[in-house]
A and B are shown apart, each in its own frame.
Chain A
Amino acid sequence: MWRSGTVIALRDETATARTITLQIPDWPGHLAGQHVDVRLTAPDGYSAVRSYSIASAPDQDGRIEITVERLPDGEVSPYLTTQVAVGDPLELRGPIGGWFVWRPEQPEPIQLVAGGSGIVPLMAMIRLRRATHGGAPFRLLYSVREPDAVWYGGELQLPSSDSSVSVTYAYTRAVPEGWPRRPARIDAAQIASMTWPSRLRPTCYVCGPTSFVERAADLLAAAGNSPDRIRTERFGPTGERR
């Protein structure tokens, strides 16, 4: 079922990524981790559909946020990141997905592993966790090209009073000055030192480009996490995800 939403706010996350807030009149609510399909239709009837994860925590107001990265050859993302304006309608389908979701009643510790824009559905989980009193602690390992490519950076900065979510960055191309590690892909040593010990039986949520997800999931499994506790969501150029 396709719904019509209205763009009510736009915010740049980085030079190439924009967060779009949508108001959707008949929105049934969503779970943290779900996504929507956005459909753009040209005057001649040609249409293109792309999936975007919801970045916002569930609320009662019929609002959602998605964050879109501009892909140079994209059919949809250039429009969403440079053309769309407040007040524009946007056609969408969702909420979609019932597996890659976190529910506040889950008692176990949560390990989030993001590669690049794979942070989006995990951000919805973090926002919901922070809005929930009590509950299991979260860890986020966020692999990103360089400091300037971090999304939601200000919000991820931990207020010292908030111990519910701890955040660690892993840089793959460039590191901040004085950073103790050279830029590199995540490896077994990082997984061992920055993620929950597998004996605590965390549920792991891994999201990012396919090659990143395969690598991170393999490393988590090699560290002793049971494959049935590792939930994955892959995206890539074919899906022009997020």
Chain B
Amino acid sequence: MRRPGDDRHLDGNAAAGQLSMIFGVDVTAAEGQCAHCGAIDRFASAHLYVGPGLVARCPLCEHVLLRLVAAGEEMLLDLRGLKYLRFHGSQLQESGG
């Protein structure tokens, strides 16, 4: 559901640097499926909310796809809202950093 005038969010591109530290490859081009509504989209299209951590939400239904929190020496990655992430072979070779 689009909320007109809501421009507090960024998008999945802005989480790519932090996520590359964990995955080792680029995630923005990966296709993910929302576990809530079933929508399939590139991770780049996710709505990203930046606070003490990162929260990525489905651009269609706005349910949480992923949360990432860094605390001290630890990082917590919560992937509850993603049914899967699908990477293509070429993405796996072109490391995201």
Chain A residues proximal to chain B, CB less than 8 Å: 1, 31, 35-37, 49, 51, 93-100, 209-211, 214, 231-236, 238-239, 241
Contacts and interface: CB of A to CB of B under 8 A. Distances in A.
B97 interface: yes
Interface string B41-75: 01111000010000000000000000000000000
Most buried by A among B11, B17, B28, B45: B17
Nearest to B14: A239
Contacts of A97: 13, 16, 26, 28, 44, 96
B4 to A, nearest CB: 8
6 A-B pairs with least C-beta separation: A98-B26, A210-B7, A37-B17, A211-B7, A99-B44, A99-B28
A94 B20 CA distance: 9
A37 B16 CA distance: 9
Contact of B44 (A37, A95, A233): A233
Interface size class of B (residues with CB under 8 A): 20 to 34
B86 to A, nearest CB: 13
B5 A98 contact: no
B7 A94 contact: no
B10 interface: yes
Contacts of A211: 5, 7
Nearest to B20: A96
6 contacts: A35-B16, A97-B13, A97-B44, A99-B28, A210-B7, A239-B10
A97 B5 CA distance: 27
Contacts of A1: 21, 97
A94 B5 CA distance: 32
A99 B97 contact: no
B44 A210 contact: no
Given A97-B16, A233-B44, A209 B11 contact: no
Contacts of A233: 11, 13, 44
Contacts of A35: 13, 16-17
